[in-house]
Each structure stands twice: as structure tokens, then as C-alpha cells.
């Protein structure tokens, strides 16, 4: 059944659509998780809990205090802890070009 020329989404696909939060929070969640996964794959120390955090858990954490600086993190190389990396994530909503 179509409403205003918009086709109805089948249940199997509808379950994958995120309607519970902002697009911006999902984008920030995915950016941070991807950075964490990439660093882990390259031998950096990354807590499994940070990677395992779900989108709803991230939104709960993020909504408490939505400051872009909270997304930044620092980690070290497992094989050489003197090698460190700091990741800072920017949002188009907070950036001035």
C-alpha cells in the first residue's frame, strides 16, 4: 500500500531503518567506531567496550553532554607504548570553514 506516492517499506527492511535519533548522532557514532576499529587493526590498544558500544548506548552517553570534544581519544601502540595517537572527530555542525 502506498501513501502519497511513497512505497511501504517491507518489515525485513524496516527493521534496519533507524528512526530513534538524529542522523548526526549516528554519523558521529559510526565515525568514532570506525576510527577505533582501524586503530585496533593496526595494533593500537583499544578497549573492546568502546568498539562494542551500540548506537543506543552511544546516544545515551552523547545526549548527556553533546560536546564534540568528548569524541576525542588517545591510545598507544601495543608493541611500543611510547608511540601514541590522538583522534579528534569534527562535526560539520560545529566546524567553521
**Euclidean distance between CA atoms 23 and 56, whole angstroms:** 13
Q: Where are the beta strands (DSSP E) in the chain?
A: 73-76, 84-87
pLDDT of the residue at 17: 60
In-domain check, residue 14: no
In-domain check, residue 3: no
In-domain check, residue 57: yes
Q: Is the pTM of this model over 0.85?
A: no
Domain total in the chain: 1
- Cα 91 off chain centre by: 12
In-domain check, residue 15: no
Which positions ≥6 away from 84 have C-beta within 8 Å? 74, 75, 76, 77
Which positions ≥6 away from 20 have C-beta within 8 Å? 56, 59
Task: Spell out the per-residue pLDDT of the chain, length 97, in tens.
Answer: 444 565 666 666 555 566 677 888 888 999 999 999 999 999 999 999 999 999 999 999 988 888 889 999 999 999 999 999 999 988 765 444 4
pLDDT of the residue at 64: 80
Provide the CATH number for the domain around residue 66: 3.40.1340.10
- Its domain, for residue 75, covers 20-87
Amino acid at each position: 500500500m502506498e501513501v502519497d506516492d511513497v512505497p511501504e517499506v517491507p518489515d525485513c527492511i524496516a527493521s534496519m531503518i533507524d528512526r530513534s535519533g538524529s542522523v548526526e548522532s549516528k554519523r558521529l557514532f559510526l565515525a568514532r567506531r570506525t576510527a577505533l576499529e582501524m586503530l585496533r587493526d593496526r595494533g593500537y590498544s583499544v578497549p573492546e567496550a568502546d568498539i562494542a558500544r551500540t548506537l543506543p548506548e552511544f546516544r545515551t552517553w552523547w545526549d548527556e553532554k553533546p560536546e564534540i570534544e568528548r569524541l576525542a581519544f588517545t591510545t598507544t601502540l601495543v608493541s611500543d607504548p611510547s608511540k601514541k595517537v590522538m583522534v579528534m572527530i569534527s562535526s560539520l555542525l560545529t566546524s567553521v570553514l
